[in-house]
């Protein structure tokens, strides 16, 4: 009898210990992540979705505060202050201006940047070889000279037009690279600047008769106004070479060569998961999209036909996205 009572008490004690342990552990604490993007357009929206899809796979208990600065630097600063007051566990800045606002405001909170061309010149990190104490991320530095060389194989041009945002560090850095590439390729560089997307159409109209083609970099303000820009270009029979294949799927762009921004979002999401699981940002160098599968080349045969251009067969063959007869074909 005493043996049975002793066994029962032992089982009861173990049960109480198990219940108390589970109760003490409780459900995994929800982690709040703030995501701030400078503006909504296909590429940045794809980054945002990629981040969320990757973190869903990681099975971390995450809740998002999704914010859009609508192209306004002041709004990006307000969003950063909102994240600070909410005490988010980690903040993600999609594009240079929002990343800068987060880094300037959130001290002691991990900040991950995505779709930032030159994080060193933007003042986000001191070196590409390592993150700063609270900051690291993913760069979208684009192969400018190769993009222009691709355009030259389709159409021989003497003057290349470039519209960029003078207040966006990413855009200014790329403008310098475009100018240098034109110099090396013997092309006249024609530029004009904007401060907001509403100015893009007028800027295009101001230079369209002085150029043989337009180059669009990963300038978020300009890309967000691609509809207006492409309208001006097509009316004047001027081709566009873009570094953003995402928006080129929707608008009449002759060719677009750049990153798959959804995949960039997935890479960013992996980096975020590493930090949430304990890795320090300073241990993570800036990451780049280096795989062939990370790159998209879109060729629009409909636009080429309207402009009277013949695209070399090897270029069409190498493209993984082709627009023909109004349909987007993905290889």
pLDDT score, position 28: 60
* In a shared domain, residues 116 and 199: no
pLDDT category of residue 265 using cuts at 50, 70 and 90: very high
pLDDT score, position 290: 78
pLDDT score, position 10: 43
Q: Would 186 be classed as within a structural domain?
A: yes
* In a shared domain, residues 133 and 217: no
pLDDT score, position 59: 86
Q: Would 3 be classed as within a structural domain?
A: no
pLDDT category of residue 281 using cuts at 50, 70 and 90: very high
For residue 210, the domain's CATH number is 3.40.50.2300
Judged by DSSP in three states, 173 sits in: helix
pLDDT score, position 289: 87
pLDDT category of residue 165 using cuts at 50, 70 and 90: very high
pLDDT (tens digit per residue) in 302-326 = 999 999 999 999 999 999 999 999 9
pLDDT score, position 52: 98
pLDDT (tens digit per residue) in 182-218 = 999 999 999 999 999 999 999 999 999 999 999 999 9
Residue among 149, 150, 140, 144 nearest 162 (CA): 144
User: What is the domain count for the chain?
Assistant: 2
Q: What is the mean pLDDT of the chain?
A: 91
Give me the domain span that covers residue 115: 31-140+261-291
* In a shared domain, residues 204 and 314: yes
For residue 3, with 0-12 CB atoms within 10 Å meaning exposed, 13-18 middle and 19 or more buried, which class applies? Answer: exposed
Strands (E), 14-171: 31-37, 62-68, 90-94, 111-116, 135-139, 159-165
Element housing 295 (H / E): strand 295-300
Judged by DSSP in three states, 81 sits in: helix
Question: Is pLDDT at 7 greater than 90 in this prediction?
Answer: no
Q: What are phi and psi of 225, to 5 degrees?
A: -110, 25
Residue recorded with tokens 């790159």 = 295
How many Å separate Cα 159 from the centre of its chain? 29
Question: Is pLDDT at 19 greater than 80 in this prediction?
Answer: no
pLDDT (tens digit per residue) in 58-98 = 989 999 999 999 999 999 999 999 999 999 999 999 999 99
- What does the alpha-carbon distance between residue 321 and residue 331 come to, in Å, rounded to a whole number? 6
Question: Is pLDDT at 15 greater than 60 in this prediction?
Answer: no
Residue among 229, 271, 281 nearest 251 (CA): 229
Q: Would 2 be classed as within a structural domain?
A: no
Residue recorded with tokens 């070196």 = 127
* In a shared domain, residues 225 and 313: yes
pLDDT (tens digit per residue) in 227-242 = 999 999 999 999 999 9
Question: Is pLDDT at 244 greater than 70 in this prediction?
Answer: yes
Q: Would 12 be classed as within a structural domain?
A: no
């Amino acid at each position: 009898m005493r043996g049975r009572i002793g066994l029962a008490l032992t089982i009861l004690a173990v049960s109480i210990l198990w219940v108390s342990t589970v109760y003490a552990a409780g459900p995994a604490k929800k982690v709040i992540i703030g995501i701030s993007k400078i503006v909504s357009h296909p590429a940045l929206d794809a980054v945002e979705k990629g981040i969320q899809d990757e973190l869903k796979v990681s099975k971390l208990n995450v809740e998002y505060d999704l914010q859009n600065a609508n192209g306004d630097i002041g709004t990006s600063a307000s969003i950063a202050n909102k994240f600070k007051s909410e005490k988010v566990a980690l903040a993600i800045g999609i594009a240079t201006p929002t990343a800068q606002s987060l880094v300037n405001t959130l001290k002691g909170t991990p900040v991950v940047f995505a779709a930032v061309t030159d994080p060193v010149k933007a003042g986000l990190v001191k070196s590409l070889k390592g993150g700063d104490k609270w900051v690291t991320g993913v760069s979208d530095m684009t192969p400018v000279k190769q993009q222009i060389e691709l355009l030259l194989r389709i159409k021989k041009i003497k003057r290349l037009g470039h519209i960029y945002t003078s207040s966006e560090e990413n855009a200014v850095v790329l403008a310098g690279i475009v100018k240098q590439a034109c110099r090396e390729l013997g092309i006249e560089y024609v530029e004009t600047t904007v401060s907001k997307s509403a100015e893009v159409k007028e800027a295009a109209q101001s230079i369209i008769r002085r150029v043989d083609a337009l180059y669009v970099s990963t300038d978020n303000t300009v890309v967000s106004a691609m509809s207006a820009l492409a309208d001006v270009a097509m009316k004047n029979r001027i081709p566009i070479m873009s570094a953003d294949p995402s928006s080129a799927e929707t608008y009449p762009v002759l060719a677009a060569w750049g990153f798959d921004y959804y995949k960039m979002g997935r890479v960013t999401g992996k980096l975020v998961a590493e930090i949430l699981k304990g890795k320090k940002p300073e241990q993570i160098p800036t990451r780049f999209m280096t795989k062939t599968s990370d790159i998209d080349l879109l060729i629009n045969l409909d636009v080429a036909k309207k402009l009277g251009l013949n695209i070399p067969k090897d270029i069409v063959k190498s493209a993984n996205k082709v627009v023909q007869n109004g349909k987007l074909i993905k290889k």
